[in-house]
Amino acid sequence: MRLRHIPGAEERIAESCYVIHDPENHRASWSDLFGTAAPLHIEIGMGKGRFIMDMARLHPDINYIGIERYPTVLLKAIEKMEADPLPNLRFICVDARLLAESFAPGEVNRIYLNFSDPWPKDRHAKRRLTSPDFMDVYRKILDPKGHLEFKTDNRGLFDYSVTSVPASGWNFTALTYDLHHSTMGIGNVMTEYEEKFSSKGNPICKMIAVPR
């Protein structure tokens, strides 16, 4: 992924009150940061933040953490938060491989993966966010009664995930290859990419999985 660098992005992120710069210090105590003992949902690779901001707006009784490792992309989400602050949403800039350092076992109630980088080359399979290595990380932080939701328009990545997710010790509770024409699409909240791709007629795939 090649992103255009925005001068001063790192400095603005460092100064933002919406970014938690020491997430490891809030491990097992995120409810204290938000000031309420609410369920905790996270989106890994949130992009510009539309999905998670809409979710936080729709569900004020849930606390949300948006995770984005690329500063240039994270800055876009910060700008949206500055225009429309949400008390139940914060951002962190970390690699998803290190999430167990930021969240305690069972602390997260739901995980969202939306339109993740497909990493189409076989040699890059371990970088896919539904690869066994990442699924093992998610298992460490997810509440046993929680679940993971994954959406993509990339059929190759979805087909890979249909195999890799159960091979990692997870079960599907729902799965569709055409979200917007299935009952799974009821109440669906779209991302920027989803709106763009679906408007071109691309079917959106979705799975919901729980750890065994």
The CATH topology of domain 105-211 is Rossmann fold (3.40.50)
64: annotated binding-site residue?
no
Residue 2 has pLDDT above 60, yes or no: no
Beta-bridged to residue 41, according to DSSP, are 64, 110
138: annotated binding-site residue?
no
pLDDT reported for residue 5: 65
1 falls in which pLDDT band (50, 70, 90)? very low
Average pLDDT over residues 75-100: 96
148 class by beta-carbon count within 10 Å (0-12 exposed, 13-18 middle, 19+ buried): buried
32: annotated binding-site residue?
no
| Alpha-helix runs per DSSP H in the chain | 9-15, 30-34, 50-58, 71-83, 132-141, 155-167, 192-199
Q: What does pLDDT average to over the chain?
A: 95
The encoded tokens of residue 77 equal 């989400």
Distance separating alpha carbons of residues 46 and 113, to the nearest angstrom: 8
11 falls in which pLDDT band (50, 70, 90)? confident
193: annotated binding-site residue?
yes
Answer yes or no: same fold for 1-32+46-96 and 105-211.
yes
24: annotated binding-site residue?
no
- Taking the domain 1-32+46-96, which CATH number applies? 3.40.50.150
Q: Convert the pLDDT of each residue in 44-56 to its tens digit.
A: 999 999 999 999 9
pLDDT reported for residue 174: 98
Distance separating alpha carbons of residues 124 and 115, to the nearest angstrom: 17
Q: Which are the catalytic amino acids?
A: 117
Can you give the residue ranges of every domain in the chain? 1-32+46-96, 105-211
pLDDT reported for residue 3: 52
Average pLDDT over residues 33-37: 95
pLDDT reported for residue 9: 76
| Cβ-based neighbour number of residue 178 at 10 Å | 12
